Amino acid sequence: MPPTDRLRPHPGDRFAAKVQLLDLGSATARLRAEPHDAVAGHRQIAIFRRGPVTLVLFTFEPGARLKEHRTEGVVTIHLLGGRLDVTGDGQTHRLAPGQVVALSPGVSHEVHAHARSEMLLTIHRLPEQP
């Protein structure tokens, strides 16, 4: 996509400030209002990235799924609104708003939305081993 066709400010601009106030309600509304179709029933945007820490905001339509994946870092999934199942390490957790699932590094997990939902995913990457 040419730079003039960007839907969002460049990450270098979004993450430049040394102090950032993140308004999850406003960010969710902007994400849902984007003019492109959701991919596989969800939209996402990294709202903070510094060193090993990344925060990603997701919106889901009912029935949307994030297929099984994993990352080499500590992951937390915080349900902001709606109803999600998070499956990891053979266990499925039905989250209510305000609940958080924490995953150890390398744990494969998937997410299934049962209703229109929003979640905040945090990744804390581990230092690389020598």
In three-state form (DSSP H/G/I as H, E/B as E, the rest C), the secondary structure along 36-58 is: CCCECCEEEEEEEEECCEEEEEE
Whether residue 79 is contained in a domain is answered as: yes
Which CATH number does the domain housing residue 78 bear? 2.60.120.10
Q: Which amino acid is at 111?
A: V
Is the pLDDT at 36 greater than 60, yes or no?
yes
Query: What would the pLDDT profile of 75-126 be if each residue is shown by its tens digit?
Result: 999 999 999 999 999 999 999 999 999 999 999 999 999 999 999 999 999 8
Going by pLDDT thresholds of 50, 70 and 90, the confidence category of residue 128 is: confident
Whole-number pLDDT of residue 1 = 42
Task: Assess if residue 130 is contained within a domain.
Answer: no
Residue 130 pLDDT class (50, 70, 90 cuts):
low
Residue 97, domain member (yes or no): yes
Quick: pLDDT tens for 21-30.
999 999 999 9
| 82, part of any domain | yes
Does residue 108 lie within any of the structural domains?
yes
Is residue 9 one of the residues assigned to a domain?
A: yes
pLDDT higher at 117 or 2: 117
Note whether residue 62 is domain-resident: yes
**Count of domains observed in the chain:** 1
Q: Is the pLDDT of residue 6 over 80?
A: no
Let me know if residue 115 belongs to a domain: yes
pLDDT at 2: 47
Q: Which domain holds residue 33?
A: 3-125
